[in-house]
Amino acid sequence: MRLLYRLAGFIAVLALTSPAAAQSVLRDAETEAFFRDVSKDMVVAAGLDPRNVQIILVGDQSINAFVTGGQNIFIHSGLIAAADNVNELQGVIAHEIGHIAGGHIVRFNEGAGPASRISLLSLVGAAALIAVGAGEAGLAVLGLGTAAAQGKFLNFTRDQESRADQAGALYLGKAGLSGRGSIAFFQKLLGQEFRLAIKQENEYARTHPLSGTRIANLENVYVNDPAWNRPPDPRLNARFLRIKGKLIGFVAEPPRVLQLYPESDKSVPAHYARAYAWHRSAYAVQAAAEADALLRTAPADPYFLELKGQILLENGKVAEAVPLLRAAVSNAPNEPLIMTLLGHALISTENPVDFAEAEPLLKNALARDRENPFAWYQLGVIYDRKGDAPRAALAAAERYSLENNARGAAANARLALAGLPPGTPDRIRAEDISLVAGDELGKKKRRR
């Protein structure tokens, strides 16, 4: 089961049945646009299609990143918080692209059999993640019971990490980006290893090479690259600092946010962080004031408009929120998450005229991003109010399917099939959901 909720721009999808049950996928229009822009040149340098590489933000305070099948890169929120500038993040992303381009997910069977993910920069010791999300001390889960088998597997994973390091350095160089950020981030990890008393002369029992080894192997490569002394792109770095501020405001405890970004700090990242902290603490007036401070710096910024609209909407001021969210959509017409928020606001007015505006908006959002349960829920509300029970049921089936609720998906797909005309796209989609959900329910029954 997944739980989806919104809070001032972010959507959090809690994957409660995943191996990392405490983790959540955080979705935010500004962050996702930034990830696409900051990685594009490196993705192209690796010979990959930027349309196929997706970077996903995970709500987890550890300093980590990993890849999965389908060219998906997961970045922990703790890694964003720990990075000082955009170039450090680029170094991490370059490494992860190295895993994808090297086919390490596909080749993982060579080292340990079926696996679900490979991690990059992990906290050392028991908190470290290996390919299936287990800690260094949990290698027995993989069936590698003997010291020889464990040694062989660990050597394999260290080799993959080293190859990804070298590939990442190549992609940074081709993209004209400095490796200083990569070295600086490894130095942060090295400092953690020293604090945890990890001996630097013995990496035999580790999935990753020691940070000191990685720095030594990469430093000469980076120093001799023409981009070594090139500073981070100032525009991308400003966007990074904005995202870092809003993310800390969203995930950190409000007192900690106000400690990191005190009232005396009048920068954009600080206003962003405090707006989220105040909003989470139910201080609507203070949150709105911080959003207004942002809008004074850039009145047409779609993400500032989105933030102010969300604050108003969640505090019951729907009529005031709608114009701001309309402006946000107008200024960022390709952002389905903002479209969905406007659709939600329009539905909240309970005005049939606004429903008519919301329906095509939500359909457009889902055409761009079908994996948004919240958008399917909102579209289902519209169908229900129109009296279109079959399509309301189909929207619910789509939502339950995305939430890994096979029972709910199957039941609503059956309701949709009872009223949808044969041969139509909606009918075919309902049949597909019914088959997949039925198979999943059958597997669960057999496991009992």
Lowest-confidence region among 47-51, 208-212, 245-249? 208-212
Q: What percent of the chain has pLDDT over 70?
A: 77
Phi, psi of 68, deg, nearest 5: -130, 180
Which residues neighbour 311 within 8 Å (Cβ) at sequence distance 6 or greater? 8, 275, 279, 284, 287, 288, 291
In terms of phi and psi (left: phi > 0; alpha: psi -120 to 50; beta: otherwise), the region of 281 is alpha
Give Cα separations from 196 to 100, 284, 338, 350 (angstroms): 30, 42, 43, 57
Q: Which helix (H) or strand (E) holds 55?
A: strand 54-58
Locate the domains of the chain by residue range: 2-234, 254-332
pLDDT digits (tens, 9 = 90+) for 318-345: 999 999 999 999 999 999 999 999 999 9
What's the pLDDT tens digit per position in 294-306? 999 999 999 999 9
Amino acid of residue 144: L
**pLDDT class of 279 with cuts at 50, 70, 90:** very high
Q: Which long-range contacts (CB under 8 A, 24 or more apart) does 5-8 make?
A: 6/310, 6/341, 6/344, 6/374, 7/250, 7/276, 7/279, 7/280, 7/310, 7/314, 8/250, 8/275, 8/276, 8/279, 8/280, 8/287, 8/307, 8/310, 8/311, 8/314
CATH T-level topology, domain 2-234: Zincin-like (3.30.2010)
Range from 78-87, 117-126, 362-371, 432-441 carrying the lowest mean pLDDT: 117-126
Backbone angles phi, psi at 4, to 5 degrees: -115, 135
Domain covering 254-332 assigned CATH 1.25.40.10 in the classification: yes
pLDDT higher than threshold 70 for residue 365: yes
Task: Write the CB contacts of 305 (distance below 8 Å, at least 6 apart in sequence).
Answer: 295, 324, 325, 327, 328, 331
Q: Average of pLDDT values for 17-27?
A: 59
Residue 69 has what pLDDT?
74
Residue 392 one-letter amino acid: A
- Does pLDDT of 87 surpass 60? yes
What's the angle, vertex CA 215, arms to CA 213 and CA 216, rounded to 5? Answer: 65
Q: Which residues contact 411 (CB under 8 A, 6 or more apart)?
A: none
3-state DSSP call for residue 146?
coil
pTM above 0.85, yes or no: no
15 or 307: which leads in pLDDT:
307
Beta strands in 77-143 (DSSP E): 118-119
What are the angstrom distances between the C-alpha of 285 and each of 80, 130, 172, 275, 309?
28, 45, 44, 10, 13
Residue 131 has pLDDT above 60, yes or no: no
Residue 428 pLDDT greater than 90, yes or no? yes
Q: What is the pLDDT of residue 298?
A: 98
The pLDDT value given to residue 133: 34
pLDDT confidence bin for 158, thresholds 50/70/90:
low
Mean of the pLDDT values across residues 129-139? 35
Cα–Cα dist 80/57, whole Å? 9
**Within this chain, domains 2-234 and 254-332 share the same CATH topology:** no
| pLDDT at 24 (0 to 100) | 85
**What is the Cα–Cα distance from 240 to 244, expressed in whole angstroms?**
6
Residue 94: closest CA among 247, 251, 227: 227
Over residues 54-75, the pLDDT tens digits come to 999 999 998 888 888 779 999 9
Handedness of CA 44, 47, 51, 53 (dihedral sign): negative
CA 396 to chain CA centroid, nearest Å: 24
Q: Poorest-confidence range of 162-166, 272-276, 367-371, 394-398?
A: 162-166
pLDDT in tens, 218-255: 888 888 889 999 999 999 999 999 999 999 999 999 99
Q: Give the model confidence (pLDDT) of 89-106 as tens digits.
A: 999 999 999 989 987 554
**Phi-psi category of 350—alpha, beta or left, where left has phi over 0 and alpha has psi -120 to 50?**
left
pLDDT number for residue 200: 44
pLDDT at 91: 94
Average pLDDT over residues 184-196: 68
